[in-house]
Amino acid sequence: MAGKRKSGQRSKSKRRKPARLAEKLLRIRTQLGLSQGGLIRRLGLDDKIERDYISKYERGILEPTLDVLLAYARVISTTGSGEFLEAIIDDKMNLPT
């Protein structure tokens, strides 16, 4: 039967990973002058993620969840609404200066 997977096989994700995401997340933290723990507090995610997650995001080992990406966008926002989310995830766009 076409379209069925054999048990035990995982489907391959076709979602494209942003190539510059890790670089941008590191840049956000360094431009804010924060440690990894300080960034977690600033993002308001003390109870959601550990400090080592920030390191893994910045090295491209893990991708942040959407709520974490929104928190990053809000921390660099001028309005607090996260208007820079697209700039974080779109490789063609640069972060605001």
| Residue 21 tokens, joined | 């995401």
What is the chain's pLDDT, residue by residue, as a tens digit (97 residues)? 455 545 555 556 677 889 999 999 999 999 999 999 999 999 999 999 999 999 999 999 999 999 999 999 999 998 878 888 889 989 999 998 7
Q: What is the pLDDT of residue 41?
A: 97
* Residue 1 pLDDT: 45
The confidence score (pLDDT) of residue 6 equals 54
The residue ranges of every structural domain in the chain are 21-89
CATH of domain 21-89: 1.10.260.40
Eight-class DSSP state of 34: -
What angle separates helix 66-75 from helix 21-32, to the nearest 10 degrees?
40
pTM as predicted: 0.79
pLDDT value, residue 12: 61
Q: How much is the pLDDT for 83?
A: 84
Write phi, then psi, for 84 (nearest 5 degrees). Answer: -100, 15
